[in-house]
Amino acid sequence: MKDNSSSQPVATERYDAILQTAESLFAEKGYQNVSTEEIARTAGVSKGLVHYHFSNKEELLVKILERGRDSLSTQLDFIEETDETAKSKIRAAVKAYLDVASAQPALTRMALIAFFEAPYSERLKSLWLGYLEENLNAFSGLIDEGIAKGEFEPVDSKLTTHFVIGMAFEVLRVTALQQQPLDTNKIADEITRVIFHGIAR
C-alpha cells in the first residue's frame, strides 16, 4: 500500500497558500477583478490545482470568511465560559472581534465584499446572515447575563447588540478602506465606555 502521509503536509501547504493568495489579491484588487488564473499564477500552482481544492472563485471567498468566523467563534466561546463580570466579558468580546480583523486586515475587506455580493449569491447571503446571527447571539447572551446578574438595566439585548457590533464594524470598515492600523485596546475601551456610560456628563 502506498504511504500518502508525506504528501498530506504538502497538500495542506498548497491549500493554505491558495487561500492566502486569494485573500491578498481580493483585498488588493477587488473580488471581481481577480481571476482563478491570476490566483494560481501568484500562488505558484496550476489552475487545475486551484479548482481541485475550490470549485470556483466564490468558494474561495466563502472559505476565507469561514476561517475568520471560526477564529472569532473560538475566542467568544472561551470568553463566555470565564468567571468575569458581564461588563468585562463584553469588553473582551469586542476586543476579540477587533483582534481577528486586525490580525487579518484583508478579512475585513472580504467581509465588505461578501456584504455587497450577497444580494447576487444565495450562498454568500446565507453565510453572511449566519455569521451575523452567530455574533448577535453571542453578544446578546452576554448582555442577558449582565441583566440577570443586575449589572445592566433591562434593555433589549438584541437591539443593544446591533449598536455594539454596528460601532465596531464601522470602525473596521473605515480603517480597512483607509488601510490604517487598529489600536484594538483603545477602540474596545471607547465602544464599551459609550455603551455602559454614554457620552453625557
| Angle in degrees, CA 127, 114, 188, rounded to 5 | 90
Domain boundaries, the chain: 1-54, 58-197
pTM passes above 0.85: no
Using CA atoms in the order 83, 169, 66, 48, what is the torsion angle rounded to 10 degrees? -150
Residue (of 101, 100, 104, 94) closest to 190 by Cα position? 94
Instruction: Count the Cβ atoms, other than its own, within 10 Å of residue 158.
Output: 13
Give 116-162 pLDDT, tens digit per residue: 765 667 887 788 778 888 888 999 999 999 999 999 999 999 999 99
Q: What is the CATH number of domain 1-54?
A: 1.10.10.60
The CATH-assigned architecture of domain 58-197 is Orthogonal Bundle (1.10)
